[in-house]
């Protein structure tokens, strides 16, 4: 086991949701977990499987997806380091969607009983866990709006704003260039568009001087204009 | 037939027990929650985006819907709520409402203050679990709606929505209902599926021409349920409903 891995990022984010005592923080840090390395594109959770654990992303990116019967894929959310990828499965018995590694990822696999135990013993931690799943739900709602009622350019700008804001809040606020391993095909599957349409739209955002996106790196050149183009109001992130 | 007047939160209890069974004391504790009963007109707002809610609303009669508006005024419907369902349990914990809730039809709601509701989820862990589960199932339904709008064609989207509603209206662990009064206009159906009202009208006509639905004013019937399910690519797994048992048959 890598001596440096810890659940500290989790403590940091949850402290932002609700007040945690020193005992609460220690209890989170002491949650048992097994470390797992998963290659790019491998399945971390499969739809229909009974749930036994929840996973915190320590390194790398992941995404949730669902398939229609004829095989088309809808990406439902992206996850960045420090986030749980399937916290709802602490309570739900069966997984209702898939989660895949977007890059090579390092994960902390926390057994369900340990999460249930900390929720029962520590009301503040229970509140933080509940809040995290409620903020996830708020993001899912916003994605329904995004695919249902925004045009292609707005959808993609909205998605980029969300990801940049979440990356910024995950601790690297000063950056202007982001590691951005998400492919155009994945952006298409997250926004209900075709890869061709996505490519054209990204080019137009570049041409208009809002972003640059190349070699797995994203820079936002004009945040105000990108947010306006994306009809982006961060309220739905609830300060997460 | 005479029925004793039912407690206004009885249907909430039924909905909670779709996902987690409760003992008698827990049930009684839910029924003992303080609430204010209120008549509400069609279209009236229960929650507005940006509000700091101090209560949660449960539908007693009528239907409600959640929605969000884009910057240019387009509306996306996020959920339809039927009697017994809480329309904003998430506002027990979130400080600011991130979307609107409106009545679809005229009806009644019970408004439960946030503080005693949260206290109950702490003092009675099984009730807390049932409410947490309810919010998690809502999140699962939002995920399914993203898939529905993002990756299914217009025909499948509408069929999927009709199937979901048939399941939601079913009593606990029972078969989906095979006919119901659809409370939504074609414009509202369009706003729930990311389509135009004209497109929805065309799809409903073609589903009727194929014998998958029958419409008589607002009542909609499903003569070929299995085929409708196929067309809608509908798998009820995402609703996480417990299977029926004899123990809860009395609830139906």
Domain boundaries, chain B: 1-143, 152-252
A169 confidence band (pLDDT: 50, 70, 90): confident
For B65, how many CA atoms within 13 A lie in the half-sphere containing its CB? Answer: 20
Distances (CA, A) of B135 to A86, B45, B58, B89, B206: 15, 21, 13, 7, 35
A175 confidence band (pLDDT: 50, 70, 90): confident
Averaged pLDDT for residues A57-79: 96
Max alpha carbon distance in chain A (Å)?
Answer: 54
Give residue B194's region: left, alpha or beta (phi > 0; psi -120 to 50).
left
- pLDDT of res. B84: 95
ipTM score of complex: 0.95
- pLDDT of res. A176: 79
In order along its 252 residues, chain B shows pLDDT tens digits of: 456 668 999 999 999 999 999 999 999 999 999 999 999 999 999 999 999 999 999 999 999 999 999 999 999 999 999 999 999 999 999 999 999 999 999 999 999 999 999 999 999 999 999 999 999 999 999 999 999 999 999 999 999 999 999 999 987 667 889 999 999 999 999 999 999 999 999 999 999 999 999 999 889 999 999 999 999 999 999 999 887 654 444 443
CA distance A13 to A183: 27
Tell me the chain B residues in contact with residue A49 when contact means C-beta distances shorter than 8 Å: none
Distances (CA, A) of B78 to B6, B142, B192: 30, 7, 6
Number of C-beta neighbours around residue B8 at 10 A: 18
Sort strands B64-69 and B45-47 into parallel, antiparallel or unpaired: unpaired
Cα-to-chain-centroid distance, residue B87 = 8
- pLDDT of res. B245: 57
C-alpha Rg value of chain A to the nearest Å: 18
Tell me the chain B residues in contact with residue A120 when contact means C-beta distances shorter than 8 Å: 125
Q: Which of A88, A130, A191 sits opposite B93 (nearest CB)?
A: A130
Which residue, among B67, B75, B151, would best test binding to A if mutated, counting the most A CBs under 10 Å from its CB?
B151
- pLDDT of res. B243: 79
Q: Token pair of A218, please?
A: 């994203």
How many Cβ pairs within 8 Å bridge chains A and B? 137
For chain B, the DSSP string reads ---PPPPTTHHHHHHHTTTS---HHHHHHHHTS--EEEEE-TT-EEE-TT---SEEEEEEES-EEEEEE-TTS-EEEEEEE-TT-BS-GGGGT-SS--SEEEESSSEEEEEEEHHHHHHHHHHSHHHHHHHHHHHHHHHHHHHHHHHHHHHS-HHHHHHHHHHHHHHHHSPTTPPPPSEEE----HHHHHHHHT--HHHHHHHHHHHHHTTS-EEETTEEE-TTHHHHHHHTT--GGGG-PPPP-GGGGGG-
Q: Which of B50, B70, B156 sits opposite A145 (nearest CB)?
A: B70
Residue pair A191/A159 in contact by the 8 Å Cβ criterion: yes
Residue pair B186/B204 in contact by the 8 Å Cβ criterion: yes
Domain B1-143 has CATH 2.60.120.10: yes
Q: Which of B122, B147, B240 sits opposite A123 (nearest CB)?
A: B122
Determine whether the interchain pair B125/A231 forms a contact, defined as Cβ–Cβ distance below 8 Å. no
Is A172 a residue whose pLDDT tops 90?
Answer: no
Number of C-beta neighbours around residue B103 at 10 A: 23
**Class of the CATH-defined domain B152-252:** mainly alpha
Is A2 a residue whose pLDDT tops 70?
Answer: no
How far apart are the CA of A114 and the nearest CA of chain B, in angstroms?
Answer: 16
- Contacting residues for B49 by C-beta, under 8 A, at least 6 apart: A235, B68, B69, B97, B98, B99, B100
- Work out the mean pLDDT of chain A and round it to a whole number: 95
Determine whether the interchain pair B140/A64 forms a contact, defined as Cβ–Cβ distance below 8 Å. no
Q: Token pair of A88, please?
A: 């709802």
Q: Which of B72, B193, B240 sits opposite A96 (nearest CB)?
A: B240
- Contacting residues for B226 by C-beta, under 8 A, at least 6 apart: none
CA distance B58 to B86: 4
Q: Token pair of A48, please?
A: 């229909």
CA distance B161 to A167: 35
Determine whether the interchain pair B95/A238 forms a contact, defined as Cβ–Cβ distance below 8 Å. yes
Tell which B residues from 88 to 107 touch A, by Cβ distance under 8 Å. 90, 93-96, 98-99
A22 touches chain B (CB under 8 A): no
B51 touches chain A (CB under 8 A): no
pLDDT digits (tens, 9 = 90+) for A12-60: 999 999 999 999 999 999 999 999 999 999 999 999 999 999 999 999 9
pTM of this structure: 0.95
Tell me the chain B residues in contact with residue A189 when contact means C-beta distances shorter than 8 Å: 150-151
CA distance B148 to B156: 8
Determine whether the interchain pair B149/A97 forms a contact, defined as Cβ–Cβ distance below 8 Å. no
Is A174 a residue whose pLDDT tops 80?
Answer: no
Residue pair B186/B203 in contact by the 8 Å Cβ criterion: no
* DSSP 8-state symbol, A87: G
Q: Which of A74, A123, A137 sits opposite B135 (nearest CB)?
A: A137
- Helix, strand, coil % (nearest 5) of chain A? 45, 20, 30
Instruction: Tokens 């194929």: give the residue.
Output: B210
- pLDDT of res. B6: 87
Residue pair B14/B130 in contact by the 8 Å Cβ criterion: no
Residue pair B110/B60 in contact by the 8 Å Cβ criterion: yes
Q: Token pair of A191, please?
A: 């926004």
Is A8 a residue whose pLDDT tops 50?
Answer: yes
A4 confidence band (pLDDT: 50, 70, 90): low
Determine whether the interchain pair A192/B233 forms a contact, defined as Cβ–Cβ distance below 8 Å. no
- pLDDT of res. A3: 44
Tell me the chain B residues in contact with residue A191 when contact means C-beta distances shorter than 8 Å: 150
B68 touches chain A (CB under 8 A): yes
Q: Which domains does chain A have, with CATH numbers?
A: 8-135 (2.60.120.10), 150-237 (1.10.10.10)
Backbone angles phi, psi at B122, to 5 degrees: -85, -45
B156 touches chain A (CB under 8 A): yes
Q: Which of A88, A144, A236 sits opposite B136 (nearest CB)?
A: A88
B244 touches chain A (CB under 8 A): no
B243 touches chain A (CB under 8 A): no
Backbone angles phi, psi at B153, to 5 degrees: -75, 170
């Amino acid at each position: 086991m890598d001596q440096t891995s810890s659940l500290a990022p989790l403590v940091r984010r949850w402290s932002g949701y609700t007040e945690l005592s020193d005992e609460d923080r220690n209890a989170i840090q002491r949650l048992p977990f097994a470390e797992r390395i998963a290659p790019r594109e491998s399945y971390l959770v499969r739809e229909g499987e009974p749930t036994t654990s929840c996973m915190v992303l320590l390194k790398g990116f992941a995404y949730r997806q669902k398939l229609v019967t004829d095989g088309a894929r809808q990406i439902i959310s992206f996850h960045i380091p420090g986030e749980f990828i399937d916290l709802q499965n602490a309570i739900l018995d069966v997984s209702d969607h898939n989660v895949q590694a977007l890059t090579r990822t390092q994960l902390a696999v926390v057994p369900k009983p340990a999460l249930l135990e900390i929720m029962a013993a520590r009301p503040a931690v229970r509140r933080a866990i509940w809040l995290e799943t409620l903020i996830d739900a708020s993001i899912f709602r916003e994605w329904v709006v995004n695919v249902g009622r925004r045009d292609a350019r707005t959808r993609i700008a909205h998605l980029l704003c969300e990801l940049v804001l979440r990356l910024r809040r995950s601790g690297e606020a000063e950056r202007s260039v982001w590691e951005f391993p998400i492919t155009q095909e994945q952006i298409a599957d997250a926004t209900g568009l075709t890869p061709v349409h996505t490519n054209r739209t990204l080019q137009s955002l570049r041409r208009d001087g809002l972003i640059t996106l190349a070699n797995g790196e994203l820079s936002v050149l004009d945040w105000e204009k990108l947010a306006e183009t994306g009809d982006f109001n961060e309220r739905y992130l609830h300060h997460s | 037939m005479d029925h004793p007047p039912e407690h206004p939160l009885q249907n909430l209890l039924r909905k909670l027990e779709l996902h987690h069974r409760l003992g008698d004391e827990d049930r009684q504790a839910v029924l003992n929650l303080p609430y204010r009963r209120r008549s509400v007109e069609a279209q009236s707002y229960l929650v507005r985006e940006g509000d700091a809610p101090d209560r949660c609303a449960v539908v007693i009669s009528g239907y409600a819907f959640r929605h969000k508006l884009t910057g240019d005024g387009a509306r996306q419907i996020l959920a339809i709520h039927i009697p017994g369902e809480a329309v904003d349990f998430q506002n027990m914990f979130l400080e600011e409402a991130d979307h609107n809730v409106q009545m679809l039809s005229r009806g009644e709601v019970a408004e439960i203050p946030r503080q005693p509701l949260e206290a109950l989820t702490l003092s009675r862990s099984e009730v807390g679990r049932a409410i947490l589960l309810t919010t998690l199932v809502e999140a699962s339904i939002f995920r399914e709606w993203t898939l529905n709008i993002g990756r299914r064609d217009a025909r499948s989207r509408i069929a999927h929505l009709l199937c979901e509603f048939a399941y939601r209206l079913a009593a606990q662990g029972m078969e989906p209902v095979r006919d119901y009064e659809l409370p939504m206009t074609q414009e509202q159906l369009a706003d729930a599926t990311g389509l135009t009202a004209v497109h929805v009208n065309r799809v409903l006509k073609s589903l009727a021409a194929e014998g998958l639905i029958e419409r008589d004013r607002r009542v909609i019937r499903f003569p070929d349920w299995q085929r409708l399910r196929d067309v809608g690519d509908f798998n009820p797994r995402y609703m996480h409903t417990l299977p029926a048992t004899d123990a809860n048959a009395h609830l139906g």
